[in-house]
A and B are shown apart, each in its own frame.
Chain A
Amino acid sequence: MRPVAVVGIGKTAFGAFADRDLRSLALEAVSKCLADGHAQPSQVEAFYLGNFAGPSFVGQNHLAPYVAAAAGIQGVPATRFEAACASSGAAFFHAVSGVAAGLYDVVLAAGVEKMTSQSTPRVAEILASAGDLSGEIKAGGTFPALFAMIARRHMYEYGTTREQMAAVAVKNHAAGALNPLAHMRKRITMEQALAGKPISDPLTIYDCSLVSDGAAAVLLAPLERAHEFTNKPVRVLGISQTSDCVALDQKDSITTFRAVKTSSEKAYKMAGLRPKDIDLAEVHDCFTIAEIIAIEDLGFCAKGEGGAYTMAGCTGLQGERPVNTSGGLKSKGHPVGATGVGQICDLVIQMRGEAGERQVARAHTGLAQNLGGSGATSVVTILSA
């Protein structure tokens, strides 16, 4: 396999944009990415688009050629990837695979979601279609409800507290307030987080990520050609995508995500690194409990200690291992199909030293973890500057 590098990135702001449609968001990210990578659309040999539910959210299908043609990318494979909230993580994984295998040299991986044109109950219903409709969703489950049940069990098994979960939200809002592309650029206090409107006990509105519009794109090339596009290539050292059953009630344990364990073990092995070697991470905080479980499953702290590790400040901007310096899905926003590639962009920004006020001191090695559903898909990527 050939070494692969990220040689260009492009993101839209994440937010609620009533005047923007899905294609215009995707085009903005792709255009910015090509400009950043000093590449022409005609150089792109394959286009991988992550999108969870365009047909449900906006009615449009056949999205990859729909976006690619508008961007001037024609006559090449253009394919949409759907893996719930890991849709663009999956697109990125397959794009990297194509370059590593030597099928292509220059490829674009992007992600987009346009969510805010639907009402909140309808958004909940569309998102719930990533769960098992024959059981947990039929019974009245929503994604907040599934993660609330995960949180309850984690509290029961490990003594995790509501304050520890709220600390994730406070931390991520503090970082997101410094990110000009974040959806909700405001700090919140522990008191606010704890007093939030109940969504699904024990989760309040402040434990939940945001419903957002947005897009992100990355340009990939073989490492040996990276200099043609950028003087700051970021190498993909390790990457893995793994799966697990969709229904929460079919998993052996709901306080650890088996797919995150298997994908991270494979990615660490490919990279020849261990958890302690990771300088910073973007993890999938769709709910605050998901970040706590992620940092445990990724090996940043012992199992059951994710809450305490967060409360101690270890994952803050000045902590020993900053997590979600972009603000995470909680503050930056979560246009679900854009999230996986967005995480890669956010790591690259830090690793190039371009993160401004939220720049961390050491950003040589970064890890991204993108989760689909309640853990049925996981993509873990390890990058090196």
Chain B
Amino acid sequence: MTPTTDTLGSGTVYTETVVWSPPEAFLNDAPYQLAIVSLEAGGRITARIDGARVAIGDAVDFSEHRDGIPYFRKH
């Protein structure tokens, strides 16, 4: 789902991983945490996690879009 609003609100971590072996474009970001977030507003989105690592079931809040990528943070 392509985000069309400024905020994606809050959600719950459906699944996650820490990427150690990134694609060429993100060599400088690794290791980074990627998650699929179940949004309170409905639907799921693949996002990056800012700050503390999260696990399945954790509550997360949308923080910002950077370079078109949605970032969430532990609640």
Contacts and interface: CB of A to CB of B under 8 A. Distances in A.
Given A121-B22, A145-B34, A200 B17 contact: yes
A153 interface: yes
B21 A124 contact: yes
Contacts of B35: 149
Contacts of B70: 139
Interface residues of A, number: 36
Given A135-B1, A140-B26, A141-B34, A254 B20 contact: no
Nearest to A247: B46
Given A121-B22, A145-B17, A248 B68 contact: no
Nearest to B2: A134
Given A140-B34, A248-B36, A156 B23 contact: no
Contacts of A249: 1, 36, 44-46
Nearest to A120: B21
Given A140-B22, A142-B21, 12 more contacts: A120-B21, A121-B22, A121-B27, A139-B47, A140-B26, A145-B19, A198-B18, A201-B20, A202-B17, A247-B46, A248-B46, A249-B1
Contacts of A138: 68-69
B40 interface: no
A319 B17 CA distance: 33
11 contacts: A121-B24, A124-B21, A128-B23, A135-B2, A136-B46, A141-B46, A144-B19, A149-B35, A200-B20, A201-B17, A247-B46
Interface residues of B, number: 30
A364 interface: no
Contacts of A135: 1-2, 45-46
Contacts of B45: 135, 249
Interface string B35-56: 1100000001111100000001
A125 B17 contact: no
Nearest to B71: A139
A152 B15 contact: yes
Interface of A: 119-122, 124-125, 128, 134-142, 144-145, 148-150, 152-153, 156, 197-203, 247-250, 254
B25 A125 contact: yes
Contacts of B16: 149, 152
Contacts of A134: 2
B48 to A, nearest CB: 6
B51 to A, nearest CB: 16
Nearest to A198: B20
Given A121-B27, A138-B69, A139-B34, A200 B21 contact: yes
B29 A140 contact: yes
Contact of B23 (A142, A149, A150, A247): A142
Contacts of B48: 139-140
A124 B34 contact: no
Contacts of B17: 145, 148-149, 152, 200-203
Given A135-B45, A199-B21, A153 B14 contact: yes
